[in-house]
Structure 1
């Protein structure tokens, strides 16, 4: 794939994805968006000319067109092969009697609204990549959107309750993935949801069983295998399909 854009790339999974792509020479141009640039991401960009850091607060939708223009200037006719909507937020386990409206709205804004509207803005670039690679099969060689979801967004697998802000926002993101997969199929743009596993990050916590490298390796292995029949599905990092 020539061009990849990853949101929330300054730490955790997002930074892990950037490092994986660089180390394995998996992409021509890598666009890493973040609110604040971490020292590690900055250091990587100073060594690798194909890593472009774009300042973006995903809650500021007014920035989206500018992001699209910056990507377009560099990617040209190649367009955008892979968009990973990774930026996210979570509140800790929230019981019904403790849930607050601001928690619900913040989670929904960042985890659901932002991926929908950013994808909407970047569709012309995704479409350009699909058209440029019209001789390829549907998948990452054309154009793919990955919405980073969570197993906590699975309604079928919810046997613990709680987590209202996070669960609801990720279930809504999964619904958006399904609609995107239908709406963008005619453009040959594949869309899927991905659960990264429970990963040792600031969000996942130190008790998580998976390290970032293992999760990221699985994510990109799974992305690389996606074909037309996988459009609109919900996968775990290891490629196994999850129920909605």
Structure 2
């Protein structure tokens, strides 16, 4: 299995950096070949412990390959896709996880155009551009590849639930994730001809820096979340494409 983890953002307030590293660790230890995409700002000294953990993982597991990627930069996406194609040869890509995401802790009253634009660009436009770039949509067409494109989301994008509104508003984040849900549905229809399965996958309310931004302690550990998501990914079929699932395999309302 070859997995492409599409970007780990290092913006303040992003839980993706922690969950992304744990996904890499667990997949690498399971012996699954994983290609990790991370933006150039991965070298920021603030996050040196996680950077060191990634480097240690790569040194211990030759099936883990670290490739630079900035999901808001089309040129970076194109260059990374080319390297992925070179790495895979004709074997095909099994799994794309759009892991990158940022949040701005703004309320409805103080949300700004600048913050909304930045959050949308990373959380919604980034996954769109990753899906568009060639050869990614065709990498799974090999007979050796059973592929799923996973557009990482969270219940913060659920219009029905509006999860944890009383504790944290994060308006731009919620709107970007709701838009990502629609994008995933569109991709599930548009990429169907390539045999690509597209789902939204909610990691849960996890004990990370973002999860801890609310007033209560999150109930889900990083290990539980990542383990659950990997289990869900292992059984995806045509029946699940275009759906919104949680880490424990429950259906999340749109």
TM-score (norm 1): 0.89
2:133 corresponds to 1:121: yes
Please show how residues 211-226 of structure 1 align to structure 2 within 5 Å: 211-226=221-236
- Summarize deviations over 1:13-33 as a string: whole Å, max 9, x none: 0001000101222x2243342
C-alpha deviation, 1:150, in angstroms:
1.0
Asked if the contact 2:157–2:174 (Cα under 8 Å) also holds between the matched residues in 1, the reply is yes
Asked if the contact 2:91–2:142 (Cα under 8 Å) also holds between the matched residues in 1, the reply is no
2:47 corresponds to 1:33: no
C-alpha deviation, 1:48, in angstroms:
1.6
Unaligned runs of at least 5 residues, structure 1: 134-140
Deviates more, 1:13-22 or 1:56-65: 56-65
Which of 16, 20, 24 is residue 14 of structure 1 equivalent to? 20
RMSD after superposition: 1.8
Partner of 1:143: 147
C-alpha deviation, 1:95, in angstroms:
2.5
C-alpha deviation, 1:49, in angstroms:
1.4
Q: Supply the distance in 1 between the matched residues of 2:74 and 2:179 (Cα, whole angstroms).
A: 19
Please show how residues 54-65 of structure 1 align to structure 2 within 5 Å: 54-65=67-78
- Summarize deviations over 1:56-108 as a string: whole Å, max 9, x none: 2211121111111111111111121100001100112x322211111111110
Report the count of equivalent residues: 233
C-alpha deviation, 1:174, in angstroms:
0.4
Partner of 2:13: none
TM-score (norm 2): 0.86
Partner of 1:97: 109
Q: Supply the distance in 2 between the matched residues of 1:62 and 1:22 (Cα, whole angstroms).
A: 28
Q: Supply the distance in 1 between the matched residues of 2:188 and 2:205 (Cα, whole angstroms).
A: 25
The residue matched to 2:253 in structure 1 has which SS? coil
2:137 corresponds to 1:132: no
Asked if the contact 1:89–1:110 (Cα under 8 Å) also holds between the matched residues in 2, the reply is yes
